Structure 1
């Protein structure tokens, strides 16, 4: 489990004792890392767009905000 979590055995035991859980993030390939970084750039662009249209169509802003939150959750799962 320590290896899957990407930490040493002692660090794994320490975190397990202090928090009761360790989040093991999967090892990503360079292609996957590039994909998630690009996804974050897209999220930033959509955030800027939503700021521009906020006063024009409130429903569109809500839809974009929901999409951004889902994307952030996906991104934070890996980074």
Structure 2
């Protein structure tokens, strides 16, 4: 169970967003939390993969460098 306190303005905005998607506010909030959690887990997995292959996440892939096999980095040949 999750309990949230929010002001009326935020609740109104959430109601509008949820209504556009044909969802309840509760379903909209839960779906947003799940999506954000997935995004964070995906980013962490990408960072760990890049560290494993020796490519720092803050270092851009040089042009023409295919990167490690199977990563899809670099330019297609």
Q: Which TM class, normalised by the smaller chain length?
A: 0.3 to 0.5
- TM-score normalised according to structure 1 size: 0.36
**Which has the bigger relative contact order, CA under 8 A and spacing at least 6?**
1
Whichever structure has more helix as a proportion of its residues is 1
Structure showing greater radius of gyration is: 2
